Amino acid sequence: MATVQVASSPLAVQPREAPRELPRELGTGFRRLSAKLCALRPEDSSSSRSEIHLILDQLISENYSEVGGVAAEDVCALLVQACRMVPLDQNHLISKVSQLIHHLLNTLQVIVDEQNLDFLLAYTISAIHHCSSWTHVKILQALAALLYGNGSKCQKYLPDLLGKNGLLVKLSSLAHSDPEVRRAAVHCMANLCLSVPGQPYLEEPYQSICFQAFLTALQSPKSSDMDDITFCMLLQNALKGIQSLLTGGKMKLTQTEELGALLAVLKKSMFHGLPGINIEMPMVLYPTLLPQYDGRPPVRSQQSESSTSRPTMNKKKKLKIKPKKIQQAEEEEEEESSGEREAAPVTGLGRLSLHGGGMPHPSSPRAQSLSLNGSGTARRGHVSSASSSPSWKRASSSDSDYSDAEGGMQSKMRSYQARVRQGALACFLYTIKSIEKKVLYGYWSAFVPDTPELGSPQSVSLMTLTLKDPSPKTRACALQVLSAILEGSKQFLSVAEDTSDHRRAFTPFSVMIASSIRELHRCLLLALVAESDSQTLIQIIKCLANLVSNSPYNRLKLSLLTKVWNQIKPYILHKDVNVRVSSLTLLGAIVSTHAPLPEVQLLLQQPCSSGLSNSNSGTPHLNPPDWWKKAPVGPFLEEASVGSPKGSSEPCWLVRLCISTVVLPREDSFLGVDAGCAAGSYVPCPMRLEALQVLAHLARGYFSVAQAYLMELGEVICRCMGESDPSVQLHGAKLLEELGTGLIQQYKPDSTVAPEQRVPVTTVVLFWTMMLSGPLPRALQNAEDPILQASACDALSSILPEAFSSLPSDWQILCITVLLGLNDSKNRLVKATASRALGVYVVFPCLRQDVIFVADTANAILMSLQDKSLNVRAKAAWSLGNLTDTMIVNMESPDPCFQEEFSDLLLLKMLRSAIEASRDKDKVKSNAVRALGNLLHFLQPSHIEKPRFAEIIEESIQALISTVLIEAGMKVRWNACYAMGNVFKNPALPLGTAPWTSQAYNALTSVVTSCKNFKVRIRSATALSIPGKREHYGTVGQYAQIWNALVTALQKSEDTIDFLEFKYCASLRTQICQALIHLLRLASASDLPCIKETLELNGDMIQSYILQFLKSGAEGDDTGAPHSPQERDQMVKRALEHISSVQALAGDTAKRAIVGFLENILTAYFDTSRS
């Protein structure tokens, strides 16, 4: 153990010759006392001890908080000198020195240098060993102050403190008799665990020792000799220590027992001191789907319950709750109770019922027992709470049962208990961040409420704190934890389902999760109407937004979103701007989750006055749809006829609200006036940005609603992009992109929107003319803001092709010129988006046959393929794939001009670039091989005959073969198989005779029999069925290999260890059957013996699968397989006719066997069809 020598040598610290100038108030105090202490000499006399006592008392009593400027080195020198003056056998002086260390370090926030820290730590550790036990609390307080943030500097003392018989380990154990010493020792350990950025952390063995000490402190019940406040402080320190281990030490809770023990004590501590709640927890909480315990008091007998609840149930009149703040006498409780909940002053939300005991105090702000049904009215008898209005809340100063002093202690006690709950919640939050979500959700039922069984009480959960805790800060902490649990829970919650009534002997897991989701909605809406503290209200709304974003409403019964929608609407007009922003965020989550939902579609059609008019804010109603326009109607709006929703008497209130929030000058807005706003200015604020995001969500998920306001939204976009604030410009560009994408979706061939319901092309042309004549070109050319440039590029790429062709030629030229220019940008983000936009434009029908444009685009894309940025290369590869798709489309047109005019040199350059890109990362490779397949398909006989193409063709095919075989991403291999199929479509290539033929077929047969991904197998089987002539399949041996590989693949079509692949089994069998029939239709006489041999071994299996193929079409994958029964049986008939026409070799019985096999299949098929 480290020791320290004191009071036995000349003073090591001399007074400074030129002490720094101190403030006048402090100079005569601290400097004088410091000098006086330094002037003393160590003497073991009563007079000397008395003088030291006096100096220490004066130093401790100095008011350091009112002045600053005390040098850290002066404080350290003083503390070292004080320690040197006090020998370890003077208990009283040791106590005062410890008090001085604690006081000065905490008050002045001094960072002790390493040399002085080393001395002071050795001194305090020695003092604990030598001094009487009554001094240990003070000494440990001093040690805690020294250890705070200095853990990395205390390495050599760790064995003394945390070793097997370490000081802190012994003093913090349950065996120690003094509870104050235990608390102080745990405090020291917590400070030792604090991390400092850039400094080494505690070694793992010491972390484990501290963790076990903290866990033991949290698990142990309060001893009889420990007062309540000391116990609270002990719990706080232990919780802070665990939090530090999780954050600074990055401690990983990998053991189930360890994690379960921590979660058990955290849940217990989360409810510490909460009135009316007393739960008993097991030592370890194990992951389970059902609650392990119910810590609530036992349910009262039916007789007593019915007798107390009957009068409440019979009441018809509404109970009014007067909003009244509880006055607090103690200043310490002010922070915790300043947000004590009142019934929210929102009318039209239904009846509020209080029950679970006698009539509550009229001024009680608690609303734990409020319960909302679907329409917002109160639901009686669902949540019972005997402690809905605790005695300490109901009592006033006139009827209090305790004195003023007792009231002060009660207030202080409640404050300490609330801090324990907050500490437990903070620790739980960091625990959530340190474990995997799939592990966390094993404990879902322990912390998230579930709908209680009939007659059973509600289990305690995070929502219990949200609804019942008197401290707004604690309620906010509980909501933060719940939000962290819900964040990223979409996959876990996706199993929920309650669309049908389940009447079974057991409750399925899907129904249990659905019940939990319903209960979360109910409780959060209950908390919403009962909350008055703005900060807590924001957390409730954020939590609701997380819940909405992750819940599978398409698998749940209707009305959940309707309840949220109706309850949140009044808060859009809340006096706190942050509440308004959160409310818009929640509305954005509603319109973006699983869009489009029929329930949300109906909500968007609600009248404008619904919900908003019931607010007591005195806010005026929304004006007519064009109320926000200050200038006369523009020419675009005069021409367009989509200013209001078709077939709707009332416009969408949400669109109008968002438009008004974005464009109305703030001083005229009903949403409140921000101080300092200039008249007529558009001051950027979170409300405007959130409103733009909601409009973007609407355009993405409910375009049928947004399209009615297309031209008005166009003007909103022009105003936003014309502002100086970059964030507003970016959100405006994003909204433009979403609107453009929505218009493109309407005109896609597979669109379900009826032609008469689409936005007319003439209107789309007007819309884009407005954009191109507005601030969009300026944003595209704003090199000072590359992020805006990139967003504008994305927006420009979302133009409807039919509208682009109708734009004036100068606008078309502007778009193309700008994109080609931005492709040369030095900014990689801009370059990437410009390359992608060119890939969109090159497939436009009006541009794809323009050889000059296609060539310019190809050169620009090839240049981007050489960029150092992976993102730029990935976008360029995608665009190259699109460009080659365009070349194939042009090749199939009757006019051969495009092929004739396209440059051979450019074609060679594209092939070389694609080969090089096929060796790049997967993001680039997947589209590079797609482009290679298209380019090889595009080659004409005139190209193939030229010697300079021979080598590049061989190299291209080898690149495809290697990509098919490598262990790359499945998307890469799928595209490689697709590309190989495109190669086989080119009749000019020497397929069947070229040396690479066998390599290509070997690669595809390897994939079709052994690839783990069934979609890749399907694509390889498709490629094998593409060659149209027998000679393309090569030799008899090559044909036999392909045939046998397909039969093997058919046998193994259900062999997979990945459950997700099973849904592609039917598609794989369908495609293999089609390939086998295709091979039969091309077979030569030399191929028949091999086919016969296979049929003898596996004929029954092949017949059964071909019969399945004839009876049903492809499922789950669009491979080009015929879907109608007539097409399928015609394939078999043609194969039968071909085999019958083959001139068999003398004495060969293979032909007869194969013909009989096919005839049996057709006979069985027609027999089953007739039956």
| Residue 830 · residue 790 · CB < 8 Å | yes
Strands (E), 254-293: none
Residues 1010 and 1012: their CA atoms lie apart, in Å, by: 6
Residues 1024 and 1043: their CA atoms lie apart, in Å, by: 10
Tokens of 929: 């091989």
Half-sphere exposure of 613 (CA within 13 A, CB side): 9
417 C-beta neighbours (distance < 10 Å), count? 24
pTM of the entire predicted model: 0.80
| Residue 962 · residue 925 · CB < 8 Å | no
Report how far apart, in Å, the C-alpha atoms of 164 and of each of 169, 190, 210, 700, 987 are: 8, 18, 12, 63, 82
Tokens of 556: 């749940």
Task: Kindly calculate the radius of gyration of the chain based on its CA atoms and give it in whole angstroms.
Answer: 39
Residues 746 and 971: their CA atoms lie apart, in Å, by: 28
Tokens of 1160: 């049996």
Which pLDDT score is estimated for 818?
A: 96
Which pLDDT score is estimated for 697?
A: 96
Which pLDDT score is estimated for 65?
A: 64
Which pLDDT score is estimated for 536?
A: 96
Which pLDDT score is estimated for 18?
A: 35
Residues 6+ apart with CB under 8 A from 971: 922, 926
- Which ranges of the chain have pLDDT less than 70? 1-29, 42-45, 65-69, 288-407, 453-456, 499-505, 608-650, 665-684, 1057-1060, 1113-1123, 1145-1147, 1171
Residues 363 and 1005: their CA atoms lie apart, in Å, by: 80
Which pLDDT score is estimated for 968?
A: 79
Which pLDDT score is estimated for 642?
A: 41
Residues 781 and 803: their CA atoms lie apart, in Å, by: 23
Residues 1036 and 1033: their CA atoms lie apart, in Å, by: 8
Which pLDDT score is estimated for 322?
A: 39
Report the first-to-last Cα separation within the chain, whole angstroms.
95
Alpha-carbon torsion, ordered 612, 615, 619, 625, to 10 deg: 10
DSSP annotation string for 659-713 = HHHHHS-GGG-TT---TTPPTT-----HHHHHHHHHHHHHHHH-HHHHGGGHHHH
| Residue 31 · residue 18 · CB < 8 Å | no
Tokens of 417: 């208990």
Residues 189 and 183: their CA atoms lie apart, in Å, by: 10
Apex CA 886: angle with CA 884 and CA 891, to 5°? 95
Apex CA 337: angle with CA 333 and CA 341, to 5°? 170
* Residue from 860, 854, 789, 787 nearest 823 by CA: 860
